[in-house]
Amino acid sequence: MDNIIEINDVSVTYQKDSSVIHAISHLTLNIKRGSFVAILGRNGSGKSTLAKLLNASLLPDSGEIFVDGINTTNEERAFDIRSKVGMVFQNPDNQMVATIIEDDLAFGPENLGIPREEIRKRVDWALKTVGMYEHRMRATQKLSGGQKQRVAIAAVLAMSPEVLILDEATAMLDPRGRSEVMDTARKLNKEKNITVVLITHYMDEAVDVDEIVVLDSGCIATKGSPLEVFEQIDIIKNTGLEFPTATETSLKLRGLGYDIPVVLTDESLVEALCQLK
Ligand code: ADP
Ligand code: MG
């Protein structure tokens, strides 16, 4: 698999009053095309800054970022990068531009000057993909939080993206809305080969991803498969993270002297318990 995103020794600072905030410090990271990556880290660790770097809405102070081989500083390709890397944010109410769902989806492609016929096709396809086609004539404000976020994802899809970034896109949703959005993201990754970058505070959303990257003070504290990452108990605690629910239980049982492995899911927890003598 090749890299859809390459981040080479990137730093970003913000000026706040008289002090300098090092939001991202000498970060190097590749994201494989078609992978599902979770970015974890406490508030202020640099996750949203990293997300903005990936679609060129923010440029690095130093270092380079390539999206599908295009340097994000290349102004002539800024439009390409914006359509290749779509973002969905936390607040479902801040992302709608039109009152009717299908108009909302047509807005982005219209701005790109895409022909009407093609827009129609893309909008219908995007709405079907997120399971909102039958609602296409409804008012955006009448939807549930989960439905709004699925429409926001559809709006990104209508731009034919390579990468979908969800920046805490499930944070304001109820459990049902969260699973609607997560199921949609997994489906796009599996069926459409869209690379997903999931920024989340819910550790349970990260148990089945391809790779986890843990940020701390703008640096990578650790990365690897979910099991590799959550087995590093001290790093998880020191970076202010929690454990997935099943992992937490397995750690408690280990603390009580039960001989079971660190697990990520309920299924493997049950399996481990059944193996106990
Ligand atoms: P996260 O998304 O992980 O919470 P952010 O990337 O939003 O982290 O922020 C990283 C650091 O940069 C924090 O210390 C935050 O306060 C600071 N920061 C973010 N955006 C700005 C900004 N526009 N101006 C000044 N400081 C900022
Ligand atoms: Mg953030």
CA gap 125, 119 in Å, rounded: 10
Task: Looking at the CA of residue 24, tell me the nearest atom of ligand 1.
Answer: 10
Domain of 42, CATH number, reads 3.40.50.300
At residue 222, the 3 state secondary structure works out as strand
Structure tokens of 161?
Answer: 């993206």
| Ligand closest in space to the Cα of 167 | 2
Residue 147 lies in a domain: yes
Give the distance (Å) from ligand 1 centre to CA of residue 46: 6
Which residue's CA is the closest to the ligand 1 atom numbered 22? 14
Q: Is residue 259 part of a domain?
A: no
User: How confident is the model at residue 97, as a pLDDT?
Assistant: 86
Is 1's pLDDT higher than 60? no
Residue-level pLDDT at 111 = 87
| Rounded CA separation 76/36 (Å) | 29
Residue nearest to atom 5 of ligand 1 (CA): 46
Would 23 be classed as within a structural domain?
yes
Flag whether 18 is in a domain.
yes
Q: Which residues line ligand 1 (CB under 6 A)?
A: 14, 16, 21, 23, 41, 43-49
Give the pLDDT band (50/70/90) at residue 10: very high
- 194, with CB counted inside 10 A (0-12, 13-18, 19+), is buried
The answer to whether position 266 is within a domain reads no
Ligand nearest to the CA of residue 53, numbered in listed order: 1
Domain total for the chain? 1
Q: Residue 106, SS3?
A: helix
Q: What is the largest CA-CA distance in the chain?
A: 66
| Shortest-distance ligand to the CA of residue 40 | 1
Tokens of 84: 């290749």
Out of 11-20, 31-40, 90-99, 101-110, least confident range? 90-99
pLDDT at residue 123 tops 80: yes
Kindly state whether residue 245 falls inside one of the protein's structural domains. no
Residue 230 CA to residue 89 CA, distance in Å, equals 26
Q: Is residue 236 part of a domain?
A: no
Tokens linked to 255 = 């603390």
Q: What is the band of 277 on the pLDDT scale with cuts at 50, 70, 90?
A: confident
Cα–Cα distance for residue pair 93/151, rounded to 1 Å: 11
| Mean pLDDT, range 228-252, rounded to an integer | 98
Q: How confident is the model at residue 145 (pLDDT cuts 50, 70, 90)?
A: very high
- Residues of the chain with pLDDT > 90, as a percent, come to 92
Q: Quick check: is 198 in a domain? A: yes
Tell me the pLDDT of the chain averaged across its residues: 95
User: What is the whole-number distance in angstroms between the Cα of residue 27 and the centre of ligand 1?
Assistant: 15
Q: What is the pLDDT of residues 84-115, one digit of tens each?
A: 999 999 998 888 889 999 999 999 899 888 99
Distances (CA, A) of 242 to 6, 38, 203: 28, 14, 7
pTM for the full model?
0.95
Nearest to 216 by CA among 238, 244, 242: 238
> Residue 57 is part of which domain span?
3-225
